[in-house]
Amino acid sequence: MIEDDGLIYPEVGSWAEEKYRLLSLYDELFSTGMKHKWDQRVYIDLYAGAGYGKIKGSKKILKGSPLLSLGVTHPFDKYIFCEKSPDLLAALTARVDRIAPQAQVAYVPGDCDSKIADICKEIPKGSPSNKVLSLCVVDPFDFGLKFETLKKLSVVYIDFVVLLAIGMDANRNYDHYVDGNSSKIDEALGNEEWRERWKAAGRRDFRRFLAQEFSMSMQSLGYLEQPLDRMKLVKSTEKNLSLYYIALFSRNKTAYKFWDEVLKYGTDQQSLFG
């Protein structure tokens, strides 16, 4: 049980527990598995949050993605946390200072899309004698991520764990996104041609379509194909509604071995760690 530390924490749905379980397991496998293969491992959180979240309607406090990444057995060599809300970032900074004072952390305040140059500057330069691998977690509230931002990051060795918050957003705002003049999905996918493909596909199951389209966009950057059955579909615990897919994107097969472990054991960590 995590005690209330008096700092702010946003409320999260109870399904967030599943997200955190998967993320922390992947952080653990990645940071340990890549330790001897790379000189530096960097963890980047584009939508970092406050470090803690409280489950709605309960007193249970959970660690958010940045604190989970700091808690791995073999910590990353550097952490980069971006958060738009100054209040949440202040709470995160205080928590990191208290919980992991030894960690090397760069904070980038503001919108990850407009601050992408600052984020990139914080990634240590790689060279043949200093091989740097980054893991970037992309966890927005809705389908508001921008493909262009991921593309800018993708010039270095970097894997992405992306929460495709499609169920909550795209289904609810379907008419606006598809038939209105919203550019939100164009920006998330990095193209406008998806509209034609959506029509050609017979306009069936928008959620699955968008997840497949996102995977295709990532493939255009050299990432391996991520089929739907290797994405984790997270549903709301109360109404059993599909909320989001969690997907890994890497250019290297090794990362997918870790991901398969996560998919296999993510619902019951005990079975992996004995």
Which one of 21, 41, 78, 84 is in contact with ligand SAM (CB under 6 A)? 84
**Which of positions 96-115 make contact with ligand SAM (CB under 6 A)?**
111-113
The site that binds ligand SAM (CB under 6 A) totals a number of residues, namely 17
Minimum CB distance to ligand SAM, residue 65 (Å): 3
- Structure tokens that stand for 98 in this block: 């208290």
Minimum CB distance to ligand SAM, residue 139 (Å): 4
Using the contact rule CB under 6 A, the part of the chain among 80-88, 177-185, 229-237, 265-273 near ligand SAM is: 80-88
Burial of 211 (0-12, 13-18, 19+ CB in 10 A): buried
Q: What is the DSSP string of 116-140?
A: HHHHHHHSPPPBTTB-EEEEEEE--
- Structure tokens that stand for 186 in this block: 């164009």
Interface with ligand SAM, residue 44, by CB under 6 A: no
Which one of 5, 7, 71, 85 is in contact with ligand SAM (CB under 6 A)? 85
> Helix, strand, or coil here: 25?
helix
Interface with ligand SAM, residue 149, by CB under 6 A: no
Minimum CB distance to ligand SAM, residue 80 (Å): 12
Which candidate, 19, 23, 84, places its Cα nearest to that of 48?
A: 84
End-to-end CA distance of the chain: 21
Which one of 24, 31, 40, 65 is in contact with ligand SAM (CB under 6 A)? 65
Interface with ligand SAM, residue 138, by CB under 6 A: no
Amino acid at residue number 245: Y
Interface with ligand SAM, residue 77, by CB under 6 A: no
Minimum CB distance to ligand SAM, residue 67 (Å): 8
CA–CA separation, 10 and 88 (whole Å): 8
Exposed e or buried b for every residue in 114-130, given b needs 16+ CB within 10 A? ebbeebbebbeebeeee
Using the contact rule CB under 6 A, the part of the chain among 135-143, 207-215, 228-236, 259-267 near ligand SAM is: 135-143
In the complex, residue closest to ligand SAM by CB = 64
CA–CA separation, 46 and 58 (whole Å): 27
CA–CA separation, 155 and 148 (whole Å): 12
Minimum CB distance to ligand SAM, residue 96 (Å): 13
Which one of 24, 26, 53, 96 is in contact with ligand SAM (CB under 6 A)? 53
Closer of 140 and 167 to ligand SAM (Cβ): 140
CA–CA separation, 194 and 179 (whole Å): 13
Q: Which residues bind ligand SAM (CB under 6 A)?
A: 47-49, 53, 64-65, 82-85, 88, 111-113, 139-141
